[in-house]
Amino acid sequence: MSLKSQIESLLFIANRPFSTAKIASQLKVKADETLAALTELYQDYDQRQSGVKLLKNKDEWQLGTAPENSPLVSQFLQEELSGELTRPQLETLTVIAYRGPITKAELEQIRGVNCGLILRNLLIRGLIESQDSQDGKIIRYNVTMDFLRFLGLTSVERLPDYERLHSHEVMEAILKQGQI
């Protein structure tokens, strides 16, 4: 698989911009090779009449929608963000509220399905936030103050049965199985 292909896949699944150094680190290649592949990929996307473009801001890169599709995307997002949460979104939000901070892998292990798009939607809505670990390799998700305000809570510990569900033995067993 080519370096450009690997970069494209990484940026596709990412819910936030990545620096050249972060991409190089993830793919275990040199930063100058990564920058050359990113520049080539940027030009490829710029020449295509595609709904997806590679966005660049200083040294950060992210896949996004083509500017000419902005009205369509804005309308869709407004409908998505103003509509009610779907059942999978509510389930994901509940797991994050009771188990957070939690990684995407742990969340997917608990739910049994890919949660990438749901996480992105909840991030856009401002109901959850992502936090990098100190080494920048692990992202954990937690509920936001907006989430607490929306529910009229002063803390997640005020959620019903929080103590029991936050440290529930079944969840601990599920998470430990994934670490083996």
Instruction: Give the pLDDT confidence score for residue 179 in this predicted structure.
Output: 53
Q: What is the DSSP string of 100-157?
A: -SEEHHHHHHHHSS--HHHHHHHHHHTSEEEEE-TTSS-EEEEE-HHHHHHHT-S-GG
146 within 8 A of 126, measured Cβ to Cβ: yes
- Cα–Cα distance, 12 to 61 (Å, whole number): 11
Predicted pLDDT of residue 167: 72
More confident residue, 4 or 177: 4
Question: Is residue 103 located within the same domain as residue 37?
Answer: no
d(CA 156, CA 42): 42
pLDDT, tens digit, 9 for 90 and up, residues 16-74: 888 999 999 999 999 999 999 999 999 999 898 888 999 999 899 999 888 888 888 87
Question: CA Rg, the chain, in Å?
Answer: 19
State pLDDT tens for residues 104-130: 999 998 888 988 889 988 998 889 999
- State the DSSP code for 30: -
Q: Is residue 79 part of a domain?
A: no
Please tell me whether residues 93 and 175 are part of one structural domain. yes
- Give the residue with greater pLDDT, 3 vs 151: 3
77 domain residue, yes or no? no
* Number of domains forming the structure of the chain: 2
Please report the pLDDT score of residue 180 as a whole number: 43
- Under the banding of pLDDT at 50, 70 and 90, the label for residue 138 is confident
Task: Please report whether residue 13 resides in a domain.
Answer: yes
Do 94 and 11 share a structural domain?
A: no
| pLDDT tens-digit series, residues 76-106 | 767 766 678 889 999 999 999 998 899 999 9
Q: Which residues of 75-94 are buried (b: 16+ CB within 10 A; e: fewer)?
A: eeeeeeeeeeeeeebebbbe
Q: Is 136 part of a structural domain of the chain?
A: yes
Do both 101 and 171 map to the same domain?
A: yes
Per-residue pLDDT at 157: 87
Same domain, residue pair 171 and 89:
yes
User: 101 near 141, Cβ under 8 Å?
Assistant: yes
> Is residue 9 included in any domain, yes or no?
yes
Query: 175 lies in a domain?
Result: yes
pLDDT at 142 over 50: yes
121 and 162 within one domain: yes
pLDDT of residue 84: 82
Mean per-residue pLDDT over the chain, rounded: 86
pLDDT on residue 81: 63
Percent of the chain whose pLDDT exceeds 90: 40
Distance of CA 175 to the CA centre of its chain: 20
SS3 75: helix
Same domain, 96 and 144: yes
Give the domain range for residue 137: 84-179
Domain of residue 14, CATH code: 1.10.10.10
CB 92 within 8 A of CB 115: yes
Residue 57 and residue 101 in one domain: no
C-alpha–C-alpha distance, residues 67 and 148, integer Å = 34
pLDDT at site 128: 94
Same domain as 89, residue 48: no
